[in-house]
Amino acid sequence: MTLPYNAATYPHYALTETNVSAAIARGVPADEIRAWCQLTLSPVFAGQTKPVNSRGYLAVKSRNAAWSPPAL
């Protein structure tokens, strides 16, 4: 799955990763991790939104048959 991210939005995803969750559980403040991600990823994204590939998938369950996922 490919999703668009930039240096400001990617840390929201990174904070859901298992190793980051474990660091937060050990007491590392989430704001500190978010700031480190933004600092180190700014040169990677260079002010742009870029496609980021993931081997994961998105599963959506809904009781509303008329619902459809938002366009990415």
pTM of the model: 0.61
Residue 65 pLDDT greater than 70, yes or no? no
**What single-letter DSSP state applies at residue 34?**
H
5-56 pLDDT, tens digit per residue, is: 998 888 888 888 888 889 999 999 999 998 898 889 899 999 999 999 887 7
Taken in order 14, 40, 53, 49, the sign of the CA dihedral is positive
Report DSSP letters for 21-67, one per residue. HHHHHTT--HHHHHHHHHHHHHHHHTTS-EEEE-S-------S-TT-
Q: Where are the domains of the chain?
A: 2-53
**What single-letter DSSP state applies at residue 21?**
H
